[in-house]
Structure 1
């Protein structure tokens, strides 16, 4: 259990956050980004405050106070300005995933009661159609700052309009009252179960996790943003966190430019999800193999670890080429979204990069626990943040039970869904995460699986599919993705455990489909011998394509379960 925390300032509203950052960091750079022509643009904390006030003033004078603002776009400075302008007492912001179809966008716009749509050039071609299918939206604003497309209302026009109003003495927006307990944002869950719920967060919910994060970490002065900005993890902890900490946040413009952008921005840290972290780690070893340097790297790690035991750290020197491929300064990766394999954490630590795995959920704004600068335990998701409480409910014989949370970061409820809200809280007011885990004697939290994913066999035995998936990935290097599940029998019982695997492309090319199927079945059979009888995988199928995922790279399990129901196969 952590007993000492870093001293941090409490902030109460988004305006407090913005004013504090402007006063404390002034002309330092808050955000950097590349335009479509890949020209670099940088914005200071002072400019951010001025642009937020200008946009907010213009929107207020258009009689938009109290409205719900949907926002769709890629990670950008203008996205941050738009989000902040709405959040400063003007209205409620509703971030939506840019990967959604027009039909899905319409559904969530309706569900959130949005009347204003803030969008980037990405959606520009669809705006006319959106006007037709979203009659409830009366105001459309293009927030792209570098686009060539001319819209009836653009963020640049609103900046100019707002500045003129402020210069003429209009201070209405700057003095808007803000209730820290009032609804600030509606965030839709990413839908791994196929259902999107609107999570209601207040200023208090959001700012609580920023305070907690900085109580547990000391960060670099430059960070790199690669995750979708509409998610709570990326926006609350990364975008707003960097604003709080005076950290320059650099936006990645495309997944295909990650390597180049790391070299341009040279960040010291980044927030990622396990799939990206694991991909980076695999690429390090692929590059070593391609250049016949695998043994050289293995020896370097062995020797480096040996001399570190006597206090000599030469990782910066030994692994300089790897560091340069990641921009040259990357020292810290904070990883959330799912538990991260301990060998990946150790692997990065061996070459001089600290990876801190944490745990959160949208309903908790999102942070619940994290490893941190003071203590990092591989395999765990760290320690409960200082601003909330965690308990493990309904534990089994191994001490595993549902993780339940109480604290100022816990949501107000689901938007217009009192039934789901009631179901997700206990009678004594604890939020039920639906995740299974346990706390060890040191107070570190471990995630063992998702309650909804738990396989309950006909014989009453419980199996955590995530445990088996990790076991397969740890032992079969050629398996890129795997999902373990149990299809239902006609009687409604989960009778046996199945697996679907997607393998590395190169392995498939070298061996061929039939040979890979044979190898996969043989290897699963060998692994089964090391498992308890009830945990054994009865059949494995080779998948032709990657699993369908959410925008934060989580596999949509309900899609696999739906496929399984449509063609159940039993093998005895």
Structure 2
């Protein structure tokens, strides 16, 4: 068995070597783990390192466009052959700048070729790739840098550089800062071009030696958790974790080798984006186009029309935005056009119902519906070439899923977490059920612990995709991963008779009322949002309280420059207000007074939601509309648009306490 304290310098047959080990988890930077391999099936695939995965891509898809970015109004691209060469060049520069093995390279910026190249160069040089959310504060950046013993910081621009400069004196291991967009004006900060030039001059010997030291069962990447339940933890992912998962999911989702096109816009510090945009793309020779930095503020729509991706993975909020826009268009359609569109959507809904029953035949009139509606909508969205549509990272409402299926956009869900390299269960067009997160693919294993009478239990995962552990955190590693290698997710769910997984709650998010009843808030929140299309966000309150209450926000416009929510209602919210007899145009209009018509209508939606409750304890007794919608700048949402419950509870504690004043 090889442990972190042993001399591992005798292992020089990398980068695809395996260091002997009989442990399934570790928290040590140099730790090695036993791979969960079998004699047959996808589990038996020979392990390879990240450098070998990119080298294979360069050999197999040498002239395929790998990375494409729009700068100065024109698209610029590099091939997979050039991609590999640039990573090697930067890895040599990192070594020259002092990067040691098992030390971090922190990357702070929006998705770009430089981000990908920096991440992989850190791995080639034997270090840890450490993505940091662009929304992180200087203190949060410091935590990640200290945890990873970062020796190099790669930043996008002056805005991100300022965070690093603020904490530079508190980072004892830091040896270099590199800015990849714009010319640095701060002393000691290197430009991208200067660093690449440095790497070009370096001989190959040092890089070759570092590659020879790499083992597929050691850590290559750190994914820092969002920190919503405490300080971010550094999830240790091995070469085999990443490369095996990329292979298994590319095959399961059926990527066409050398032919797919994706848009990279979700935060690369999140494992879902890394797996889909970097690793699966390397495995399958996918062309990656980078969105503009303001993608989630509105520019993504234009990029989609220009790039026309063949695969679109996004978070629920993006799908909701597309849905809301299409609903606006639908409301302005009148007469015969509306009747025809309604008929066509009924054909789409029929196809959806058939697919869920494994009937893949299409109605006789499908070609007509496709010609008059489906094709036109997809073309208008830039999705006319898209064949894979996925929602991930947070729950999405069944209403929105059904709507997309009605226009023949077979949107499915994926479930996973940082500790599982992203995907664990996957919904695909040929195997999905509305409301489920799909099935567990071959080589991935699921079991439920402590099931209740309804079959709900804690979801546990196993397989070659399960993390090594948390860096420098022995207790937390043992808490999350048991001695048989099962990852205890803290999520609650059940498997139906066809082995589709349905998520019903999260242990840490469970509300335990003063009466001792467990309440899963997500289900109630999604039901309420379905009853009230005017609601942007909803968060249930009631832990150790006598009853449940809810904080609600109206759907409002967003400032495209800052991402801040504005007070003006979105068209869907405006239409809803009109439908209940209100002339309100802003949140202030509703709250000042307050607007009795809106209040009555919201209470009616609450009542409809309560009528579906399985017990009195699961009924919402009080509620309050907040003056602003949740947002990333406001702190209520994380980078993947998940609600940060503890933050919201603290931020609006005064309002919450008033709800419980007797």
TM-score for the superposition, normalised by structure 2: 0.79
Identify the range of structure 1 (308-317 vs 85-94) with the bigger mean alpha-carbon deviation: 308-317
Query: Which of 141, 147, 150 is equivalent to 2:178?
Result: 141
1:225 Cα deviation from its structure 2 partner:
1.8
Q: Using the alignment, how far apart are the partners of 1:170 and 1:196 within structure 2?
A: 33
Q: Using the alignment, how far apart are the partners of 2:322 and 2:546 within structure 1?
A: 38
Query: Which of 626, 630, 640 is equivalent to 1:552?
Result: 640
Could you say what secondary structure the match of 2:299 adopts?
helix
Could you say what secondary structure the match of 1:60 adopts?
helix
Number of the residue aligned with 2:326:
284
Q: Using the alignment, how far apart are the partners of 1:310 and 1:333 within structure 2?
A: 25
Could you say what secondary structure the match of 1:176 adopts?
helix
Q: Using the alignment, how far apart are the partners of 2:223 and 2:523 within structure 1?
A: 29
Number of the residue aligned with 1:490:
none
1:25 Cα deviation from its structure 2 partner:
0.9
8 Å Cα contact 1:272-1:336 kept in structure 2: yes
8 Å Cα contact 2:119-2:129 kept in structure 1: yes
Q: Using the alignment, how far apart are the partners of 1:520 and 1:559 within structure 2?
A: 25
1:537 equivalenced with 2:620 (yes/no): yes
Relative distance call for 1:374 and 1:459 in structure 2 (3 A) is same
Number of the residue aligned with 1:44:
79
Q: Using the alignment, how far apart are the partners of 1:232 and 1:304 within structure 2?
A: 33
Q: Using the alignment, how far apart are the partners of 2:226 and 2:252 within structure 1?
A: 27
1:79 Cα deviation from its structure 2 partner:
0.7
Cα deviations by residue, 1:217-254 (Å, 9 ceiling, x for unpaired): 12361111221111110012322111211111111112
Could you say what secondary structure the match of 2:220 adopts?
strand
> After the TM superposition, which residues 277-356 of structure 1 pair with which residues of structure 2 at under 5 Å, given as runs?
277-292=319-334, 295-303=339-347, 308-310=362-364, 312-319=366-373, 320-327=375-382, 328-356=384-412
1:163 equivalenced with 2:163 (yes/no): no
Identify the range of structure 1 (471-480 vs 555-564) with the bigger mean alpha-carbon deviation: 555-564
Could you say what secondary structure the match of 1:559 adopts?
helix
1:28 Cα deviation from its structure 2 partner:
0.8
Could you say what secondary structure the match of 2:492 adopts?
strand
Q: Using the alignment, how far apart are the partners of 1:165 and 1:452 within structure 2?
A: 50
Could you say what secondary structure the match of 2:504 adopts?
strand
8 Å Cα contact 1:55-1:155 kept in structure 2: no
Query: Which of 531, 534, 538 is equivalent to 1:475?
Result: 531
Number of the residue aligned with 1:63:
98
> After the TM superposition, which residues 374-389 of structure 1 pair with which residues of structure 2 at under 5 Å, given as runs?
374-389=430-445
8 Å Cα contact 2:224-2:269 kept in structure 1: no
> After the TM superposition, which residues 220-259 of structure 1 pair with which residues of structure 2 at under 5 Å, given as runs?
221-253=260-292, 254-255=294-295, 256-259=298-301
Q: Using the alignment, how far apart are the partners of 2:69 and 2:46 within structure 1?
A: 29
8 Å Cα contact 1:331-1:352 kept in structure 2: no
Query: Which of 229, 243, 255 is equivalent to 1:219?
Result: 255
8 Å Cα contact 1:482-1:502 kept in structure 2: yes
Please, which runs of 5 or more residues in structure 2 have no aligned partner?
A: 1-40, 352-361, 556-568, 578-582, 631-635
Q: Using the alignment, how far apart are the partners of 1:480 and 1:546 within structure 2?
A: 7
1:296 Cα deviation from its structure 2 partner:
4.6
Cα deviations by residue, 1:280-300 (Å, 9 ceiling, x for unpaired): 112111122245465553233
Please, which runs of 5 or more residues in structure 1 have no aligned partner?
A: 488-492
Q: Using the alignment, how far apart are the partners of 1:389 and 1:383 within structure 2?
A: 10
TM-score for the superposition, normalised by structure 1: 0.91
Identify the range of structure 1 (332-341 vs 288-297) with the bigger mean alpha-carbon deviation: 288-297
1:109 equivalenced with 2:191 (yes/no): no
Q: Using the alignment, how far apart are the partners of 2:118 and 2:306 within structure 1?
A: 26
Query: Which of 498, 507, 524 is equivalent to 2:549?
Result: 498
Cα deviations by residue, 1:383-413 (Å, 9 ceiling, x for unpaired): 1132221110011111101001122211111
Cα deviations by residue, 1:16-66 (Å, 9 ceiling, x for unpaired): 11111111111110111112x332111110110110111112222333231
1:7 Cα deviation from its structure 2 partner:
12
Identify the range of structure 1 (22-31 vs 328-337) with the bigger mean alpha-carbon deviation: 328-337
1:11 Cα deviation from its structure 2 partner:
5.2
1:517 Cα deviation from its structure 2 partner:
3.0
Relative distance call for 1:405 and 1:8 in structure 2 (3 A) is closer
Q: Using the alignment, how far apart are the partners of 1:103 and 1:306 within structure 2?
A: 52
Cα deviations by residue, 1:484-512 (Å, 9 ceiling, x for unpaired): 1214xxxxx33211111112224368333
> After the TM superposition, which residues 182-221 of structure 1 pair with which residues of structure 2 at under 5 Å, given as runs?
182-219=218-255, 221=260
Q: Using the alignment, how far apart are the partners of 1:521 and 1:41 within structure 2?
A: 53
1:260 Cα deviation from its structure 2 partner:
1.3
Cα deviations by residue, 1:173-202 (Å, 9 ceiling, x for unpaired): 684331111111121111233431111111
> After the TM superposition, which residues 385-400 of structure 1 pair with which residues of structure 2 at under 5 Å, given as runs?
385-400=441-456
> After the TM superposition, which residues 77-116 of structure 1 pair with which residues of structure 2 at under 5 Å, given as runs?
77-116=113-152
Aligned alpha-carbon RMSD (Å) = 2.6
Relative distance call for 1:419 and 1:382 in structure 2 (3 A) is same
